[in-house]
Amino acid sequence: MPQPTRPLLLCADDYALHPLVDEAVERLTLARRLSATSCMTTSPLWAASAPRLQGLRPQLSVGLHFNLTEGHGGAHPAQPLGAVIRQAYARQMLPGASRTAWRAQLDAFERALGTPPDFIDGHQHVHQLPGLRDAMLAELETRYATHERPWVRSTAPAGGLWRQPKAAVIALLGGWAATRRVRRAGVATNRGFGGVYGFDAADEAQYGAQMARWLPHMPAGGLVMCHPATDVVQGDAIGAQRPVEYAYLMSAAFGELLERHGCRVHQGPARDWMNPQS
C-alpha cells in the first residue's frame, strides 16, 4: 500500500526583483515544482511583473516579501541588514514609521493584484524583528477580517535543523520569538522552516545535497525557501547561485528525492491546513 506523502511548501523568494527570477517562478509553477512566491512590491518592476501571477493563482500562493534592505539600484530607500537589526533590538524602530512601511507595501500588492496577499514574509527575514513584527500584526488586524488575514512565515527551524549554525542565528534573531507572538495573535504559520544555507552550492549536486539534509526534518505543512532564476542575475549578491537552484528544482533528481522522502510539493491554498498552533 503506498505511503501517504507529506505536503511541503516550496517558496521562491524575490519575485519582481528581476525578469529572470519571474521566469523561474512561472516555469517551476507550471512544472508543479513550486508552491508559492513572495513578491518585492518595492521593486520598480513590480507593476509590470504582477500581471504574470494572475494566471498562476490559486495553484501558486502569492505573498508579500516585506523589504527594508534591498534598494533596487537606488529606486527604494534601503539600509544594511546589520543596521536594521541593531535598530530593532535597540527599540529604535518608530511604530509610526514601521506601520507606514507595512501599509505602503501592502497597498502596492493590493493595487497590482486586487486581493490581499496569501501570506507574508520578509526579505532577509526582517518581518520577524522586534517592533516590525508588532507593526505587522497591528496592520493586519486593522486591515483584514479574520477570514482573509494572510498567514505569516515562521523561520523556526524544522526538526533538528536548528543545529545548523545559520538556521540557528535566524531563529535567534526573531524566528522563535516571532513565531510565538504571531501564533498568540491567532495568525497561522507554516509548520517548520528549511532552506537555509550559505548560498555556496557550486552545482546542482551540491544544492541537491542540501535539499537531502532538509527534507527528512520537514513535517507536513513545513516550508522550504528557495531563490531560483533561469540565469545569473547580474549585480545580485546571490545572483550566481540562483540558476543552480533553478536547475536542480526542475530536475528529475529533485523529483526522485521528494519521492524517496515521502514528500510532495503542495500547490493550491495552504491556509486551510495551517492553524495558529501549528
How far is it, in rounded angstroms, from Cα 37 to Cα 113? 14
SS3 label, residue 95: helix
79 contact partners, CB below 8 Å, separation of at least 6: 68, 69
Please state, in angstroms and rounded to a whole number, the distance separating the CA atoms of residues 41 and 64.
7
Q: Taking the domains of the chain in order of start, what are their residue ranges?
A: 6-273
Instruction: Report helix, strand or coil for 211.
Output: helix
Q: Could you count the other beta carbons within 10 Å of the beta carbon of residue 45?
A: 17
Helix (H) / strand (E) element for 210: namely: helix 204-214
- On the question of pLDDT at 95 being above 60, the answer is yes
What's the pLDDT at 11?
98
pLDDT of the residue at 94 = 86
Report which secondary-structure segment, H or E, holds 104: helix 95-113
Residues 146-184: tens digit of each pLDDT: 888 999 999 999 999 999 999 999 999 999 999 999 999
Q: What is the mean pLDDT of the chain?
A: 94
Q: Which band of pLDDT confidence, cut at 50, 70 and 90, is reported for residue 275? A: low
How confident is the model at residue 2, as a pLDDT?
Answer: 46
Q: Which pLDDT does position 273 carry in this prediction?
A: 63
Cα 70 to its chain centre, rounded Å, is 15
Residue 34: predicted pLDDT:
98
pLDDT of residue 269: 85
Query: Distance between CA atoms of 169 and 9, rounded to whole angstroms?
Result: 22
Q: What pLDDT is recorded for position 99? A: 95
Q: Do the beta carbons of residue 57 and residue 34 sit within 8 Å?
A: no
H helix count then E strand count, the chain:
11, 8
| Alpha carbon distance 173, 217 (integer Å) | 21
Residue 73 reports pLDDT greater than 50 = yes
Higher pLDDT among residues 221 and 2, named by residue = 221
85 within 8 A of 129, measured Cβ to Cβ: yes
Could you read off the pLDDT of 104-118 as tens digits, one per residue?
999 999 999 999 999
Residue 100 contacts by C-beta under 8 Å, 6 or more apart in sequence? Answer: none
Residue 278 reports pLDDT greater than 50: no
CA distances from 190 to 50, 222, 248 (A): 24, 5, 24
pLDDT for the residue 246: 98
CATH class of the domain comprising 6-273 = alpha beta
Number of Cβ within a 10 Å radius of residue 149: 19
Residues of the chain above pLDDT 90, percent: 91
As a whole-number percent, the residues of the chain with pLDDT over 70 amount to: 96
